[in-house]
Amino acid sequence: MNRWPIPDAMRQALNAARAAGAQGEVPIGAVVVRGGEIIAVAANQTREPPDPTGHAEIRALRMAAERLGQERLTDCDLHVTLEPCAMCAGAISHARIARLYYAAPDPKGGAVEHGARVFEQEQCLHAPEVYSGMGEAEAAELLRGFFRERR
């Protein structure tokens, strides 16, 4: 049997997530891509240094904006290993990300297909195209393993 291949950008997001987990950060990774080129790779980093906004998506968007020298990341796609929360979905909208790819859904904290459904609100000025499921099993297992070890 052949597994459907995980796209390269999501593979790199999973690698970033794994590395974060090894540092004691929640293993979630994000990658910004523009025209096939990887612009930013980041993982969750909320503990050291302490930053309540240090989710992978926020960090990747900030890095990409700095690197490209522009506030709006039009023509960029974001690949992230977990369904974004309200904070990150809002940031994705502000950044004008064209396409959002996420691996695993997050019923407990997600705000795309759950809860706040940020992109479906009238107040949302820009909604990306959304795709999910690529690398879902790998992303979910990284999180399960991380929290299992910490119980």
- Which residues are part of the catalytic machinery? 57
Cα 99 to chain centroid distance, Å, stands at 12
Distance CA 78, CA 99 (A): 6
Contact call for residue 37 and a second copy (CB under 8 A): no
124 is in an annotated binding site: no
Residue selected from 110, 135, 142, 143 as contacting a second copy according to rule CB under 8 A: 110
Distance CA 135, CA 80 (A): 10
Kindly report the three-state secondary structure assignment for every residue of 87-111: HHHHHHHHCCCCEEEEEECCCCCCC
Distance CA 113, CA 86 (A): 11
Distance CA 44, CA 27 (A): 7
Q: For a second copy, give the closer residue by CB, 35 or 52.
A: 52
Site for a second copy in 8-27 (CB under 8 A): none
Residue selected from 1, 35, 37, 49 as contacting a second copy according to rule CB under 8 A: 49
Three-state SS at 20: helix
Contact call for residue 87 and a second copy (CB under 8 A): yes
Per the CB < 8 A criterion, the answer to whether 120 and 114 are in contact is no
Contact call for residue 35 and a second copy (CB under 8 A): no
Residue selected from 8, 51, 129, 141 as contacting a second copy according to rule CB under 8 A: 51
Contact call for residue 127 and a second copy (CB under 8 A): no
Residue 38, both tokens: 């990887």
Q: For a second copy, give the closer residue by CB, 47 or 144.
A: 47
Residue 95 Cβ, how far from a second copy at the closest point, in Å?
4
Which residues lie near a second copy (CB under 8 A)?
Answer: 46-47, 49-53, 58, 61-62, 65-66, 68-73, 85-91, 93-96, 107-111, 114-118, 121-125
